[in-house]
Chains A and B, each alone.
Chain A
Amino acid sequence: MEEAILEAIRLAVTKIPDDVVKSLQEAYKRENTPTAKFNLENILKAIEIGEKERIPVCQDTGTVTFFVEAGVRNPYLGMIKELINSALEKATREIPLRPNTINVLTNKNLGNLPIVHWELVNGDRIRIAILPKGGGSENCSALAMLTPAEGFEGVKRLVIEKVKECGGKPCPPIILGIGIGGSSDLALKLAKKALLRPLGERHKDGRIARFEEELLEEVNSLGIGPMGMGGKTTALDVKVEVVPRHPASFPVGVVFQCWAHRKAFLEISGSGEVRIWQ
């Protein structure tokens, strides 16, 4: 099982998922300046090399983040935390990953420590989503506690302002995750989790789906383009998730993801069978 988690980490960092590749290929066709083409061509080449040679596409193999949906009746539940730690340690040596965890006080490099989000669910299935999150895009994250009066218009203003401010820093074309409602911490967590949805897929609530489309169009009209050097494609997609809010609050979390949108999923059934996919 440790081996399976390691393989899922390897898949995430070496192979950019098909939905992302397809979207980048479309962007390449759409762009018509030499600079935008230069960047997208490099991106597509880097993806090919990563997959063929099984090496990390981006040297920033990120803060390796795990979202665990833990079925309470799964007999392996008690081992999962240790397995994630040891698999990540092994992955750092074997793939290899960049040691990306730094002690805040001493600046000493600690290797790679995971960030794990737990959610207990009924049943005997454990599902783990792996999201290696690069620093450049993560640094653009934002939280705003809007007033209910500002509402969705306020969300739009905030997102556009943040995308403009960040320009080329988060490695565009980006994917935006937006969480609305809950509380300060939940809004950001929702935003990050929203990134796990497949590109091109719209929210099942038509009102949110339309909001996603509007945001995507506005972001792409900014002209920031691939790597912030101008172009039509600033974002590949925008994902919005909502949960109920407090009467006085309208929390909004915004999380940026770079084009190298690395993700992998792993499922452990009650009988210990493992399935890995992207």
Chain B
Amino acid sequence: MAVRLTTPLSEKEILKLRAGEIVYLSGVIYTARDLAHMKIIKEGAPFDPRGAVIYHSGPVVRKKENFEIVSAGPTTSARMNKYLDKILDMGVKGIIGKGGMQPESFRKYRAVYFAFTGGAGSLAAKSIRRVVEVYWLEELGIPEAVWVLDVKDFPLIVGIDAFGNSLYSNHR
């Protein structure tokens, strides 16, 4: 059964989700990868982190009159494990990425890890309605900047739920 959710996410919504469930996510999400995470930890997030969803992605961007996201699949989330507790402690409730992360943190902070298919960037771009804003573009460059994206029905799968159940550990 597919669930429809809109950001920001509440703890109540999060607790209903179970690993393996399909979720169609709408609303505003924020991209962040290695350098953006370092900067968020050091200087604070340039957005309100409470209930926010962070997308581990470095998009291909075309600039016409406005920025247009051409292709935007997820990057490997495990690189951001190091920052995960601090990010979730700020109130972030959802992470979108690929490959999975440490499940304990999601249980501890009552948050959810959503997986999108790595490499399917052209498909992910179809769920992105527009670029709302971009932070730190000049300093970090296109892949590492924080892109504020308005998404509609982004098809995701719950990879790790708020109870620490993980699709990634079952088969190891």
Contact = CB atoms under 8 A, between A and B. Distances in A.
Interface of A: 34-35, 38-39, 42-43, 45-46, 49-50, 53, 55-61, 96-100, 102, 107-109, 134-136, 139, 164, 167-169, 171, 222-230, 258-260
Interface of B: 20, 22, 35, 57-62, 70-73, 75-76, 78, 98-100, 115-126, 140-144, 155, 157, 159, 167-168, 170-172
A56 B122 contact: yes
**Chain A residues touching B, majority SS:** loop
B168 A229 contact: yes
B171 A57 contact: no
B119 A57 contact: yes
Nearest to A50: B122
A42 to B, nearest CB: 4
9 contacts: A45-B120, A56-B60, A58-B120, A59-B72, A96-B61, A109-B140, A139-B76, A171-B119, A227-B117
Secondary structure call for the B interface: loop
A107, A224, A228, A258: which has the most chain B beta carbons within 10 Å?
Answer: A228
What 7 pairs between A and B have smallest CB-CB spacing?
Answer: A109-B141, A46-B120, A59-B121, A42-B117, A171-B118, A168-B99, A46-B123
Contact of B119 (A55, A100, A230, A258): A258
B145 to A, nearest CB: 10
A56 B141 contact: no
Q: Which residue, of B118, B124, B159, B170, has the highest number of chain A Cβ atoms within 10 A?
A: B118
B113 to A, nearest CB: 11
Nearest to A98: B60
